[in-house]
Amino acid sequence: MGIIDHISDMFEVTSTRKSKRKPMQTVEIKVKMDCDGCERKVTNAVSSIKGVKSVDVSRKQSKVTVSGYIEPKKVLKRVQNTGKKAEFWPYVEYNLVSYPYAIGAYDKKAPSGYVRDVPQAFQTPNTPTQRLTSMFSDENPNACQIM
């Protein structure tokens, strides 16, 4: 075993090509689309990017979801080159937020079931209310600290 390892170290093959494969990512972009032509234009522009595996367009939500080995900024730039106003998806689901009516979180233009992704809408860890609710946990029989 020692000789084989020594020989393999001597004849080690190194690649001169240093291209790292991009990680698999899902990019969500908000794009205002009015008709089938707009939808087709955006879909064709995004699907022509190298590394794209799937493109899902939801005209009702004004949302384009792109999956593949891609860079998010390139996808956004390609959508903007179609002449459409585009930005990264600024919303989170309503049920994932602790304070959906916090300042800046509630957006009348957001699709139903979504609110704007702002830090004020999420509960910070170790707040007094969180400590009080964890005191009386059914999951932990020793959690009741009052008795």
CATH number reported for the structural domain that contains residue 31 in this entry: 3.30.70.100
Per the structure, the complete domain to which residue 36 belongs is given by: 25-89
Tally of domains within the chain:
2
Residues 70 and 117 in one domain: no
pTM for the model: 0.65
Q: What percent of the chain lies above the pLDDT cut of 70?
A: 71
Domain boundary at 65, 89, 113, which?
89
Q: Count Cβ atoms within 10 A of the Cβ of residue 118 and give its class: 0-12 exposed, 13-18 middle, 19 or more buried.
A: middle
pLDDT band at 15 (very low <50, low <70, confident <90, very high): low
Cα–Cα distance for residue pair 99/93, rounded to 1 Å: 12
One domain for residues 66 and 37: yes
* Domain shared by 41 and 76, yes or no: yes
